[in-house]
Amino acid sequence: MEFRNLGRSGLRVSLVGLGCNNFGGRIDLDATRKVVHRALDAGITLFDTADSYGNRGGSETMLGEILGDRRKDIVLATKFSQPMNDAGTLKGASRGYIMTAVEASLRRLKTDWIDLYQQHLPDPMTPIDETLRALDDLTRQGKVRYIGCSNLPAWQVTEAVWTSRAHDLGAFASAQDEYSLLARDVERELLPALNAHGLGLLPFYPLAGGLLTGKYKRGQPLPEKSRLTYVKASADRFLTERNWAQLEQLDAFCAKRDRGLLDLAFGWLASRSPVSSIIAGATRPEQIDANIKAVNWKLNQDELAELDGITRTAA
């Protein structure tokens, strides 16, 4: 397993991370235990969850039940700010809510600290300096070791960086955003901002909802129990004419080299700056093995240029 620093921070993470959004939702405790144990045995150290995953708390609770003594062997990342009740009163990035949310996550995870605590969504109601001051206090208390953000536009990431510098507060070490061969919009503004300010990128949806696994074919029935089969919003989002057209070209690219789409998806992301770890979910242990194997494809400059011609979004 390759390890990288999370941006300019001293936190080391495995290049392949485990996304834990399936735990407590798509799969039960027994299936989750099998996936977690395989990831641990395979050398994955970054486990990424959120308080909202698993029907609001299920993912964190399962990890707390399963990890036990292995907790100390991993980088445990979670998130706050998504709604945690139907009334919409438990959400956001205010100081009051953060202090409540972190204690709830620590209880569910059965741990004394969170290695990477991330703001899941922008909060237009809360100034960024209030959010950063609260997170800085949690870091000083030892409850949080590093902080990050997710789904913030480039201008807000830059605002956060400058706020941290101006007020001597802990700064975001990472950003978690959608990035894949079929979703490259972050290259316009966000990636230049992350590189300029030293934040690591943790791409989610690296397989474009499963399209880059190779199991989806145009004109054929969707695979049973796949994400795009039971989540209509995801199917509508990913199963577009543009994506099908690019997928066919990517299939041909891989066929010429006797490799699979999964290898391409992970190998390409591993070549991109400032990717620190690739967050990929799993519902079965064998998917862990496939993800780790896939990241080993080292693409050369000619291959990267050819892929740009297929998938790069026009400015």
What per-residue confidence (pLDDT) applies to 142? Answer: 98
Q: Which domains does the chain have, with CATH numbers?
A: 3-207+261-306 (3.20.20.100)
| Active-site annotation holder among 53, 146, 179, 205 | 53
CA distance 31 to 35: 6
CA angle 21, 298, 177 (to 5 degrees): 30
What per-residue confidence (pLDDT) applies to 187? Answer: 96
Enter the pTM of the model: 0.94
Active site residue 53: yes
The low-confidence residues of the chain, meaning pLDDT below 70, are 225, 227, 229-232, 313-315
Model pLDDT for residues 150-201, shown as the tens digit of each residue: 999 999 999 999 999 999 999 999 999 999 999 999 999 999 999 999 999 9
CA distance 115 to 78: 8
Model pLDDT for residues 272-300, shown as the tens digit of each residue: 999 999 999 999 999 999 999 999 999 99
